[in-house]
Structure 1
Amino acid sequence: MGETPRLIATDIDGTLIRDDHTVSPRTADVLARISARGTPVILVTGRPVRWLKMVYDQLAEPLPAVCANGAVVYDPFNDEVLRADPLAPQHLAEVAQRLRAEVPGISFAVEILDSRQMRHEAHYPLRWDVDPDGIRAIETPEELLSLPAVKLLARAGEQDPDAFAELIATAVAGLAEATHSSSSGLVEISAAGVTKAAGLAWYCERIGVSAADVVAFGDMPNDVPMLTWAGRGVAVANAHRAVLAVADEVTTTNSEDGVAAYLEKIFGVG
């Protein structure tokens, strides 16, 4: 990579925003200044599209986003999904069958309609997402798997997040991708080949930017593909050990505005 990247890609939770889920004024200002200079800034997140507004409301302007761990590429200016790569119903059914056989008591939810809505089994625990307009419990397992889903979410009570993700990944190997971005035993499952790196690569090719010219920031295992794909992968200091192991550099923590601090140095802003 040259001295100044041509595109900035950043995870949101645990990376760009602080532990209180806010974007600091410093971070918002740095991103606005860099964008005004003509360098694209892209949010690359496990979040669904419907969770972006709370971040956009704290920025000078909305930013394009790769959502659902790479399955959805979203243009906020036109409220348009540019690309979606969901699990087909037949693949959802096979994944669910494998996991029900492997993990007693497992429960599922799905992100559907390009992650604008969520459906969940009655016993699936809703920990954050309780929007009554977009969330609904389903009546039967067949209903849960009847529509293409950009993400299948799996829980089985309290689990060690790394061990549970490894168990799920082994069970669905060759059929789907499994990763995690939380400490609560939630595993996120996408179509085969769908990762943050794949979604970001599609967007970069669309605007003519190569991987070598991208700087990417992250903190959790779902960020590993993106950080290894980008010309420069930067972990925040609070990152998971798997991210620290692959990062080219480490900045300060998310609560210390690590992304902003790093960008201020390489872009000369701040």
Structure 2
Amino acid sequence: MYDTPAVAFFDVDGTLIWHDPDANAAQNVAHAQVTPGVKRAFDRLHARGNLSFICTGRPRNLINQGLLDLNPTGLITSSGACLFFEGRKVFERTIDLDLLHATVDWLMGEGIEVLFEGTDCSAALLPNGGVYTDIPGALSVHSWEELCAATDLRFSKFSYAGDMIERVEQMGEPLRSHYTFYNLGLGAGEAGPVGIDKAFGIAKALEQLNHSTKNTYAFGDSENDLPMLRAVETSIAMGNAMGVVKAQADYVTDSAAHDGVATGLAHFGLI
């Protein structure tokens, strides 16, 4: 038995929230919600004195009210690049401006569409023209100049459609060495600065709590959850997780479609 509360970290998409396979990834991010069963599990987790952190690839501006209504202790957003604790932003890491500019130039030259994601703003870079409509509130830009004019350029990562994963990962040096690339397994991929990942965010959160890695848990399903699963004492993969995630986890729970978070919390006696 431990004399400190448990701290549990939860991915969102494919973990707390089930993604409809008939909808694209962006539409699921915009519209999918947590179930009543997940909400009850969080209430019971907190009633026992345990702590919870949402630990997601989503930026803060895409954390919907349903997720906030889970009353987490804190938010680790943008795949570890930003931490919110007790209602305040503790830290934020963003892509260096020179690197961002060079990345936009490369994407423009390749004609690859991506969504740049920041705490306060998301902007779709559309080199081939058009308007981005998948996520309400996201801006549409068509050049570096438009991105500069429309935003504060404070982006922590960028994401892209699943059919662009191979092309994005063919990014040449020296740009490529500055990023870590992930297949999210949900019809999308993402890239963020090397060294800034969910494990980095968890370390910052535990530092705020003055809590060791003992009695810590993490739930995830995708490649960007692998650093998070390595950063805690007990790792739980969702039943719908990618094979590489299941292979690393200490325990595989039910699918997100069947409230696997609740099943996993109950298995470890946390609710």
TM-score of the aligned structures, taking structure 1 as reference length: 0.81
1:260 deviates by 0.7
* Candidates 110, 114, 118, aligned match of 2:116: 110
Find the counterpart in structure 2 of residue 67 from structure 1: 77
Residue deviations 1:209-265 (CA, integer Å, cap 9, x gap): 222431100001110111122111110111011211211211111111111111113
- Paired AA for residue 107 in structure 1: E
- How far apart, in 2, do the equivalents of 1:90 and 1:180 lie? 25
Q: What SS is found at the alignment partner of 2:83?
A: strand
- How far apart, in 2, do the equivalents of 1:265 and 1:54 lie? 28
Residue deviations 1:171-201 (CA, integer Å, cap 9, x gap): 74431222232533x3322222110111111
Kindly tell me: are residues 147 and 154 of structure 1, through their superposed partners in 2, closer, same or farther at Cα, counting changes over 3 Å?
same
Q: What SS is found at the alignment partner of 2:177?
A: coil
Q: Is the 8 A contact 2:54 2:74 kept in 1?
A: yes
Q: In the TM superposition, what are the counterparts of 1:127-206 in structure 2 within 5 Å? A: 128-131=134-137, 135-138=138-141, 140-144=143-147, 147-155=153-161, 159=163, 161=165, 163-164=166-167, 166-168=169-171, 172-184=175-187, 186-206=188-208
Find the counterpart in structure 2 of residue 30 from structure 1: 41
Kindly tell me: are residues 121 and 220 of structure 1, through their superposed partners in 2, closer, same or farther at Cα, counting changes over 3 Å?
same
Find the counterpart in structure 1 of residue 58 from structure 2: 47
- How far apart, in 2, do the equivalents of 1:172 and 1:211 lie? 34
Q: What SS is found at the alignment partner of 2:13?
A: coil
- How far apart, in 2, do the equivalents of 1:168 and 1:195 lie? 20
Find the counterpart in structure 1 of residue 92 from structure 2: 84
- Paired AA for residue 174 in structure 1: S
Find the counterpart in structure 1 of residue 15 from structure 2: 15
- How far apart, in 1, do the equivalents of 2:202 and 2:172 lie? 22
Q: What SS is found at the alignment partner of 1:187?
A: strand
Q: Is the 8 A contact 1:41 1:63 kept in 2?
A: yes
Q: Quick check: 171-180 or 119-128, which moved more? A: 119-128
Q: Say yes or no: does 1:93 pair with 2:69.
A: no
Kindly tell me: are residues 41 and 166 of structure 1, through their superposed partners in 2, closer, same or farther at Cα, counting changes over 3 Å?
same
- How far apart, in 2, do the equivalents of 1:54 and 1:248 lie? 31
- Paired AA for residue 256 in structure 1: H
Q: What SS is found at the alignment partner of 1:159?
A: helix
- How far apart, in 2, do the equivalents of 1:138 and 1:4 lie? 48
Q: What SS is found at the alignment partner of 1:30?
A: helix
Kindly tell me: are residues 182 and 90 of structure 1, through their superposed partners in 2, closer, same or farther at Cα, counting changes over 3 Å?
same
Kindly tell me: are residues 141 and 244 of structure 1, through their superposed partners in 2, closer, same or farther at Cα, counting changes over 3 Å?
same
- Paired AA for residue 85 in structure 1: R
Q: What SS is found at the alignment partner of 2:227?
A: helix
**Which of structure 1's runs of 4+ aligned residues deviate more than 6 A?**
1-5
- Equivalenced residues, count: 255
Q: Is the 8 A contact 1:168 1:178 kept in 2?
A: no
Q: Quick check: 118-127 or 199-208, which moved more? A: 118-127
- How far apart, in 2, do the equivalents of 1:14 and 1:193 lie? 23
Gaps of at least 5 residues in structure 1 are none
Q: What SS is found at the alignment partner of 1:149?
A: coil
Residue deviations 1:36-94 (CA, integer Å, cap 9, x gap): 322110000011212223333653x354110111111124x53x322101101111123
Q: What SS is found at the alignment partner of 1:42?
A: strand
- How far apart, in 2, do the equivalents of 1:260 and 1:170 lie? 44
- How far apart, in 1, do the equivalents of 2:111 and 2:131 lie? 12
